Amino acid sequence: MSRRDTSAAAPRVRPARPDEAELLIDLQLRLARESEGVELDPEVLGSGVRAVFDDPTLGEYRVAELDGRVAGCMLVKRGWSDWSNGTVLWLEGVYVLPEARGHGVFRALYEQLRRRVESAPDLKGIRLFVDRRNQRAEAVYRRLGMTADHYALFEWLK
C-alpha cells in the first residue's frame, strides 16, 4: 500500500484480543528498536503484554486495522489527576507499521479515544510521552492538536 493510495478503507479501531498478544509483542519490539534503538527482552515484554489481558486494571490495548490487518496499536492506561478531579488517559506503546504510515492509522486510534474522553465527564484528557529524537511522531501529535508546552518527563527506572 502506498501513501498516496486513497482507495484503501479508513482504519477500523477496536480492542485488541488476547490471542493477538504475540503480534503486540512483535510491534512493541519494533517500536523500541526503531524509536529508541533499544532491544527489549522478549520474555519480559511478553509477560508484560499478557499481564494487561489478565488484569484489565493495568490498561487496554487498542489496535487499528487496514484492510482487515492490524496496522497499528497503542496501550491506554488510566491515571488519576487530583488537579482535575478525574482520570487522564495515558498512551504508551504507540506504533504504526511503516507501510501503514500516512494512512490515518494513529489518527483513527487517537480520535476514537478523544471522542471517548469528550463524552465521559470523569475523563479529563489524554497524555503521552515521546522520545525527543522521534521528530516524526512529535509532528503527528502536533497536527492532531496535542501540545508539548507544559511538562518535561523525568523518570527513574530500575
- In angstroms, the first-to-last Cα distance of the chain is 41
* pTM score of the predicted model: 0.86
Give the residue-averaged pLDDT of 103-120: 96
Which carries the bigger pLDDT value, residue 59 or residue 154?
59
For residue range 2-59, list pLDDT tens digits in order: 444 445 689 999 999 999 999 999 999 999 999 889 999 999 999 999 999 999 999 9
Give the residue-averaged pLDDT of 144-155: 77
- Given a contact cutoff of 8 angstroms between Cβ atoms, the answer to whether 44 and 53 are in contact is no
For residue range 122-137, list pLDDT tens digits in order: 999 999 888 787 788 8
Confidence of residue 154 (pLDDT cuts 50, 70, 90): confident
Confidence of residue 157 (pLDDT cuts 50, 70, 90): low
For residue range 51-93, list pLDDT tens digits in order: 999 999 999 999 999 999 999 999 999 999 999 999 999 999 9
H helices present in the chain, as ranges: 21-31, 42-54, 105-119, 135-143
Four-point Cα dihedral 109, 61, 34, 79, nearest 10: 90
